[in-house]
Structure formats: C-alpha cells, structure tokens
Amino acid sequence: MPDLKGLPDLPRAGRVRVLDAWLGGLLADAVAGTPPPRQGRGGPPPRTGTDGVALVAVGSLGRREPPPHGDLDLVLVHDGRPEVAALADAVWYPIWDAGVRLDHSVRSVAEAVSVASTDVKAGLGLLDARLVAGDAALAAALRTATLASWRQSASRLLPQLRDLRRGRARQVGELAFLLEPDLKEAYGGLREGQVLRAVAAAQLGDEPSAEAEAAYSFLLDVRDELRRRSGRPTDVLVRQEQRPVAAALGLADEDVLLREVSLAGRRLAFVADDTWRRVEAALVRRPRARYRRVRREPLAEGVVRQGDEVVLARDARPAADPGLVLRGAAAAARADLLLSPYTLKVLAVHSPPVPEPWPAEVRWSFLRLLASGRAAVPVLEQLDQEGLLARLLPEWDRVRSLPQRHPWHRFTVDRHLVEAAAAAAELTHDVDRPDLLLVAALLHDVGKGWPGDHSVVGEPVAAGVAERMGFTPADVATVGTLVRHHLLLPDTATRRDIDDPATIERVADTIGRDAQVLHLLHALAQADGAATSTSAWSPWKAHLVAHLVARVQAHLGGTVVDGADPVLHPTEPTVTQAGGDGAVTVGVEDVADGQQVTIGAPDSHGLFSRLAGVLALNQLDVRAAKVNVVEGRATAVFAVRPRFGRAPQPTILADAVRAALEGTLPLADRLRQREADYRQDAARSVPPRISWHDSEVSGEATSIVEVRAGDRAGLLYRLTAALVAEGLDVTSARIETLGADAADYFYVCNPAGCPIDAGRRARVEAALVAAARGAVPDPARTGGDTPG
C-alpha cells in the first residue's frame, strides 16, 4: 500500500498516478485471491485474471483531477462473472481500511446504462468514466454505451440538469460575487465546467473554449491549495484561508486571489448561460419543414433580429463603422435580446477604435443602452467578456471583478456600477438631465480602482470619461460633482441632524446651491442604494434622504418635494402613566420601515440613557433619536424597528419608563441577562473606533462623536450612559447598523457651555470603549447633566 499521507502534497498528475497504481494493485490482488466458483458439467470453463471485469473511475478521478482529501468514485463493471461480489469486497475493504471515503457501485454495462438514462447525476458521472485496471474492452463498451444513452436521453435529462444548476445557484449564489465562494457548487464554479462538457457530449453545444478551460483549471488550482492548506475536504474559500492560498499560488494578496476567482467564475457563468440558451432552443420542437425561412427584422443600422438573437446585417461593415458596437448593443437591449456569439467575435476582431471625443451618434447609442435598464445588464456583460467594454472605457479594467469586502455589497465593483446604472434608468423621469444621471451612476464608484478616497479620486476619472464621451465642459463638471458627492445625501441624512438649519446650509453649499445637482444626487443615491442591498437602502434611509432633499430644496427657494414627511416629530401620547415626580406619556406612530416612539417625562439626570435602555429591553432597535427640554419636562422622540417583529406597546413602555425613573427597574442587570440569553447579541472582538467631528449646530459648543462598534443588545444605552457619566449632554443621535457593526453618531455638548477639550475627549473615548465592550455605568449614580 502506498503512503497516502503524502498524497495531498503531490500535483494532480502525481495523485492520479499513485491512486491508479494502488487501485490497480487492489484489483489484481482481489482477482488472485478470489477463486472462481465451480462450474457444472458441460458448462463454460471458469474465467481467470481480469477478463470480464474492469475497475472504472468516475467523478474527479475519472477526469484526472482528484483534489487533496477527496473521495473516490469507483464502478466495478462486469459482464456476468459470478464471483463479482467477492471481487468487489476484496477491492472496497482495503480502501475503507485506508481511511479513504468511497462512493462505489457494481454494475454490468446494461445496468449502468439503465441508471444513467434515468438519473441525471449518475449519467453525468459516467460520462467521465476512465479505465483504471482490468478489461479495457469492457470499459470501452461502458463508455460507448453510456455516451449513446446520454445523447439519446438528452432531451429529458438536460432540462433536469439545468434545473439542478439553477436550484444550486439560488441556494449557494454566483461565484463571481461571493466573498467566501463555494468553488464547486456556486454558479460559475467547477460544476459548470463539467456541465459544459456534458452538453458537448450530447452534441448540443460546443466543446468548452480555451478561455473556459483556463478558468476551470485555475479554479482547480485554487481548490487544491485550499484543501492542502486547510487539511480537510472543503470547497468553500473562507476568508481566513484566502491569504495563504494566494501566497501558495504566487498572487499578491487575498484581494487579487478573490478577483481572479471572480474573473474565472464570470467566464464560466457567461459560457454556461449562452450554452443553456442554445440547448433550450435546440430542444424546442419545431414544425417539420424541408425549407424554413428565418425571418430577419431590422433593428438599427447594421444589425437585425434573427430568431432570438441580434446579428449583423448583410450590408454591415464593422471595420468601417466605429459606432456599430454600441448601436448593436443598444438595439439588443431595447429589444430585450442578446448579441449572437458570432457577432460578438466579429465586432471584437474588426471594430475600429471610437474617435475621441465620441461622435454624438455613438454617445447617443451608449446612453440608449444604459437607459434600457435591466435588459442592459446581460448585454454589457457580453461586451465586457469580449473586451469591448474596456476598449470603450479603459478605466473599466481597474474595477473589473474588484471585490468589495463590505457586508452590504452584493457585487464586485464593476457589476455594482452596472446594476446602479440599471436602477438609475428607472429614475430618469424624475430628473432634468437623465443622460448625466446614467453616466454618473455607471461611474460613481470608478475611483475604487485607484488608491485613496474613492469619491475624491473618482471625480477626475469620471470627468475625464465624460469629456472623452463628448459632453460639454459644464456637463463634465456636473458628472464630476455627482461622483465626488454621491455619498453626501445618505451620509448626511443618517449621521447628522437634518432638522438643523446649519446642516441644510452645509449641503446647499457643497452642491453649489444648484437644485438640478440636488435632484441628480437624490436619484443617484437611490440607484446606488438599490444596487448595493436592501440593508443599504431601506425604506427608513430613503425616508431620511427624501426629507433632507426636501429641506435643502426649500432652502434653495424651490418647491418642496412631495411626500417628504417630517421625521422625529413628536407623536401625540396614547398612554399616560402617573409617577411620583410627574406623569410619563408614551405615543407610538407607524412610520416608514418601523415606528416612532415619543416619550414625555420629567427631566432628570441620565434620562436619555434610561429611555434607551427601556427600548432595548423591549427589543426595539433605535435608528435615530432626539430630545427636547422645556421648563423641566423632556420630550424624547425615537425612530425604532422591532427586532422580532412585535410592534411597541405604549402601556408596557410607560410602565417600564416609570419603573426606570423610580429606580425599581435595574436596567444594567436586565440587559446583561438579556445578552446572556441571546448569544447573537454578544459583541465581536473587534475593538471599537471613536472619532470626533465638528457640528453644524450654530451658536452652541456642540460636537459629534462617532462610535463604530460590534452591535449588541442595549448598545445605545451603554454608550449614552458612558457619556452621561462623563458629564456630557446628548441632544440627538443617529444610529446605523452595518451588518454586524453599529455606527452611532451623538450630538453632545458640555453643560458648562465651553468646548470639549482634548483631555476630556480622551476620557470620553476611554469610557465609550469600555461601554462598547459591555461595561455599563449607572446613570443614576453619575453626575451627568440632563438630558443626557
């Protein structure tokens, strides 16, 4: 028996040689050690050796690509030898004794073909059948019969295979856009390469191209290194394994590795998509006719619709027509079709460069393509895969398949930009310059391909692209402004007090007091958020941004945007709870994406923090808050979202607030217990990050302190209690949850009226860090002033 412990360290070809030799020896030993059964008088003489029996590898070993720590898929094929069961046991048991996982079967050729014709997975595996040892003629007969059966059953089995792959894609995702991809089962993974060969074996598709084979081979290399480094049979490229795998493959870092995996996955997915379209077209039953005339419908100059594809017209001259690429792409998207693969190849080979600046007709075609919305996404992917998009926009190569390691992002940078442009196409009727919106949406994150703040470095890049496209200098400047400030509205709405006039003034100054730019930025923010994820653009964030836009528009002297309701406005109380020092009132109102809770109570030390603790105990996540004190009575307004779907109950909240104010509700202890009960609320070990910002509030010594920490139960209560303990007032707060992290922004001021000096800031930062890690000061025993 060979030393299998060193098998993972061998290259694939070496693993195949070792396994083949070992398995061949097992079959030889089995045949030698298993005497043939006695034959009756007059019967055929018993057969000896491997005559009539063959050990055949299927799966990864059959394809000569066994991964480290992989299992063996073996079939013992026979032609009726009576002692085949004993032979099988003599082969299988040594494999099990060696600790190797085994998927095995014993079949005659007829039995194998019968199973392959009804079970798509078995049929797919038998297409990879390869003789390891034994009767070569029998193994060849198996392969010939299996291939014939596969072709005969293709019309029934291939739709099943397609549905299996689509189902796995829904469960696992698309390889190109996953931060921890399943290299085998994700759509565009290794399984796609195997399916492409199976379709070619059914004579319904071409053999995989050299590019597809190279992508497949690269994914094999990544999986081999992943299994070798992790020491276990895994296909999921988890984050902690990415850096050592990248180093083993000679790549610079884990981002380069993930980008190369994405590129390989996109190539395989692209080829698979085209293959399935052709398979489905081939399997559609058409009326028999000796001559069938294919209808050709003109779509634009030089391109026609032929069947379900867009192809070149007979009089098209791609080598003399630089606008044909975009004209054809726009025509395809507008008709919700795709360019034919042959047309793509012809355009890639023969199309000349587009003159700079772009002629008006070329720019119009490009805008028409982007304005097609969702239908433009697959067409742009076609241009990208053939290298045509990078010819038009050389900057595209910088962001192509660039990973985004943020919990919000679903896509790589380039696909996110395409998705944003598609989302912007649905908003063009809301703005005066839809052309600038579409271009800005496609380019808003292009700066991520360069070092530095992507908004800052992206501005000149986007402006250069717009200039090359032939826009006027004023329009070029507008595109640059949109890219530079595409985060202005969502960042301001979620991190600043949008009811403060100074905040509105700052936004107006930033956009040059231009209402057109304001509306373009609003539409761009919506498109950017929609292309990111539902977490990035929730109804609550949309509501805040719309309110901010309405305020800025009114400040600029325009018409207030319809439907922008005020946020954090006091709600009429529905419950009044009598207390020793004054009544507690609670009002609850349904608002966008949650509820708004208004609590009225006598002003006291640490009131804001106690109220936050009560809401946390009632499993309400706070997203924004504001407090106002008039003549000794505080009114606090909280925008909340129920963590488990149960709307807040005014009576229960009023009772809890009264108990907290009277000191009979131990908030700190109850929150610790809740965190112990709900392990998912425990904060991660990543250290919190504290930063200070200048406030826009006029005439007050107010600062904004930003806290980024792992989200946990009662985090807002802990942080505000820490601020109270340091003697600061909290006047309002903006809360944003970023995956497993929270970003909280507190407007704080010194009750003495003077600015918060560096020494005090350092003490506040230490207290906030301790609070974010679970320490909870008791506001009732601190000297903090109200309303903090």
Residue pLDDT, tens place only, 352-409: 999 999 999 999 999 999 999 999 999 999 999 999 999 999 999 999 999 998 777 8
3-43 per-position pLDDT tens digit: 678 888 999 999 999 999 999 999 999 998 877 666 555 55
Q: Can you give the length of the chain in residues?
A: 788
Separation of alpha carbons 348 and 307, rounded Å: 22
Q: Is the pLDDT of residue 787 over 50?
A: no
Instruction: With residue 420 as reference, give the H or E element that holds it.
Output: helix 413-425
CA 336 to chain CA centroid, Å, is 25
C-alpha 98/C-alpha 4 separation (Å) is 8
Other beta carbons less than 10 A from residue 176's beta carbon: 28
Q: Are strands 309-312 and 338-339 parallel, antiparallel or unpaired?
A: parallel
Domain extents for the chain?
Answer: 4-35+49-152, 156-283, 299-355+362-392, 411-566, 575-781
d(CA 399, CA 565): 38
Q: Among 121-125, 198-202, 284-288, 447-451, whose mean pLDDT is lowest?
A: 284-288
Q: Where does the pLDDT of residue 788 fall: very low under 50, low under 70, confident under 90, or very high at 90 and above?
A: very low
pLDDT over threshold 70, residue 667: yes
**Domains 411-566 and 575-781 belong to one CATH topology:** no
Q: What gap in Å lies between CA 410 and CA 725, rounded to an integer?
A: 41
Average pLDDT over residues 730-743: 73
According to DSSP, the residues that pair with 60 across neighbouring strands are none
Least confident of 339-353, 481-495, 735-749, 751-765: 735-749
- CA 443 – CA 449 distance, rounded (Å): 11
pLDDT at 577 over 50: yes
Give the least confident one: 285-289, 441-445, 519-523, 675-679: 285-289
* Rounded CA separation 67/223 (Å): 7
Cα separation, 653 vs 26, in Å, equals 74
Q: Rounded distance, CA 125 to CA 193, Å? A: 13
Assigned token pair, 288: 């028999």
Dist CA 739 CA 484 (whole Å): 25
CATH topology classification for 575-781: Alpha-Beta Plaits (3.30.70)
Q: Average pLDDT over the chain, rounded to whole? A: 87
Q: Find which of 507-516, 600-609, 770-779 is predicted with most confidence, using mean pLDDT.
A: 507-516
Question: Cα separation of 5 and 509, whole Å?
Answer: 68
CATH T-level topology, domain 411-566: Hypothetical protein af1432 (1.10.3210)
What DSSP element (H or E) covers 56?
A: strand 53-58
Residue type, 359: P
Say what angle helices 515-532 and 434-443 make with each other, to 10 degrees.
40
**Span 156-283: which CATH code?**
1.20.120.330
pLDDT at 741 over 50: yes
**Contact criterion met (CB below 8 Å) for 216 and 206:** no
Distance of CA 321 to the CA centre of its chain: 38
Arch. (CATH architecture) of 4-35+49-152: 2-Layer Sandwich (3.30)
Q: Is residue 328 a contact partner of residue 347, using CB atoms and an 8 Å limit? A: yes
The order of strands in the sheet holding 296-300 is 296-300, 303-306, 309-312, 338-339
Please report how many Cα atoms fall inside a 13 Å half-sphere around the Cα of residue 109, on the Cβ side: 19
Q: 693 or 224, which is more confident?
A: 224
Q: What is the pLDDT of residues 536-550, one digit of tens each?
A: 788 888 988 999 999
> CA 182, 187, 191, 193 torsion: positive or negative?
negative
What amino acid occupies position 612? A
Q: Residue 447 gets which letter from DSSP?
A: G
